[in-house]
Amino acid sequence: MENGVMIQYFEWNLPSDGKHWKRLKDDAKHLSEIGVSGVWIPPAYKGTSENDVGYGAYDLWDLGEFDQKGTVRTKYGTKQELIEAIEELHKYNINVYLDAVLNHKGGADETENFLAVEVDPEDRTVEISEPFEIEGWTKFTFPGRNDKYSAFKWNHNFFDGVDYDNKTGKIAIYKIVGENKDWDEGVDSELGNYDYLMNADIDFSHPEVREEIIRWGKWVVNELKIDGFRMDAVKHIKDEFIAEFLTQVRATHGEKFYSVGEYWRNDLEKLKEYLDNVGYKTDLFDVGLHFNMYDASKKKQDYDLREIFEHTIVATNPMAAVTFVDNHDSQKGSALESQVESWFIPHSYAIILLSKDGYPCLFYGDYYGVGGEKSPHQWIIDKLLEIRRVYAYGEQINHLDNPNVIAIQRTGRDEWTGCVAVLSNSEEEEEIQIEMGKEKSGEVWQEVTGSEYEDVVIDEDGNAKFKVEPEKISVWIRKS
């Protein structure tokens, strides 16, 4: 879809009322009207409890269908409600991307005794004990599902590590000892080897594991009729497996099946290396752009806005970039907290929604609000979405001459499209002169985000001066 937009349709603090899939279904028409073309839904399978946001994945095959972990539904509702929500979204030609949490499993059914070594949490390649027996939560038997869809049972042979010894009650990082057992390669080099993240860490070198996960991937796409995956925590998962997983799913469901990976590292070279290693089989979230916007929001006028696109995927490999402002991991109170300050939210959404490149992703918390409180930004995001739908076409020209005032210009595809977004972190009112082209001489342009500036007439040389209030944005379009 031209000028498509994705929305992450959840945040950490949603109520655990089992009604989220119903809310999503009811919202489908509205999402279509504001220009959303893809919805990233939260992990939709059984977690460790009915309150689990989904990242404590217990049973991938239970989409809110079986009585397990004290509940039939997930935090978000039942399998049938999810299917109905997806069908409603598809009525409006909105794609649905499921959050695939493949790195680990939580909420095991039983413990086992097995050999392990404790490793240095700051460098997991360094063993700090001899092998000894621990009692770990590694047996997953899924008694509530009774082998429906899959008879596969998990035990310690299918994991690389755990973080808790039930025998001693000690929390540490334990690497499981066994034949061909080690941390997976093809993961991030942070902390020596960043295979281990949490819970029971899945061993993607084990052929039975690979077969089971690929089988699930093909099944869930067919079962829910989803259009893509958001791949969670890919920097902790063997890159070669991610490439194989997506290849196998597409072999069954078609090459257009979409994927975006979460590789949370503010290091463009690492992200480019990852894209290369997986053969560009997935897009990536543009973490560098997020951190640029976060830094800009913190430093205010001390941040050089001319650097906002530096070290980003969207600037270097735009076809692989999913641009975003914030998400559930960066929002306040989360483990990776780096939330963009409120005053810079309009600037940030202007950047991702009015730029030509990248697949922009709205965050539920920015649009609808967090913890039941309404977002103060919905109106400006709605306005920017409208400008994206109607006006943000043509080539992009970035005007980066002033560290405190920049402009993003879209040249348009006819005489009525095109726009100019002016972004300021200055403490004073500013203006920026833009050469619009002599063919536009005499045109009248208006500001549409509520600044109440007078209309601007493009002069005989094709130039115009566009104003912006202190620490605000202004967006200009041709007046009809």
262 is catalytic: yes
Binding-site residues for Ca(2+): 103, 160, 184, 195, 201, 203, 236
- Strand 38-41: give its sheet, edge to edge: 321-322, 283-285, 258-261, 228-231, 95-100, 38-41, 6-8, 361-363
232 is catalytic: yes
Q: What is the pLDDT along the chain (480 residues), one digit of tens a residue?
A: 689 999 999 999 999 999 999 999 999 999 999 999 999 999 999 999 999 999 999 999 999 999 999 999 999 999 999 999 999 999 999 999 999 999 999 999 999 999 999 999 999 999 999 999 999 999 999 999 999 999 999 999 999 999 999 999 999 999 999 988 999 999 999 999 999 999 999 999 999 999 999 999 999 999 999 999 999 999 999 999 999 999 999 999 999 999 999 999 999 999 999 999 999 999 999 999 999 999 999 999 999 999 999 999 999 999 999 999 999 988 888 888 999 999 999 999 999 999 999 999 999 999 999 998 999 999 999 999 999 999 999 999 999 999 999 999 999 999 999 999 999 999 999 999 999 999 999 999 999 999 999 999 999 999 999 999 999 999 999 998
- Active-site entry in 50, 65, 165, 232: 232
Binding-site residues: 103, 160, 184, 195, 201, 203, 236
Place of tokens 């194989």: 244
Query: Is there a contact between 244 and 250 (Cβ–Cβ < 8 Å)?
Result: no
- CA separation (Å) from 18 to 65, 71, 215? 13, 10, 28
Kindly report the backbone phi and psi dihedral angles of residue 453, in degrees, each rounded to the nearest multiple of 5, phi listed first: -70, 150
Cα atoms in the 13 Å half-sphere on the side-chain side of 180 = 8
- Active-site entry in 109, 262, 357, 430: 262
Would you mind telling me the total number of residues written for the chain in this entry?
480
pTM > 0.85: yes
What gap in Å lies between CA 325 and CA 199, rounded to an integer? 28
Show the tokens assigned to 260. 């975006």
What gap in Å lies between CA 394 and CA 82, rounded to an integer? 38
**How many other C-beta atoms are found inside a 10 Å radius of the C-beta of residue 171?**
10
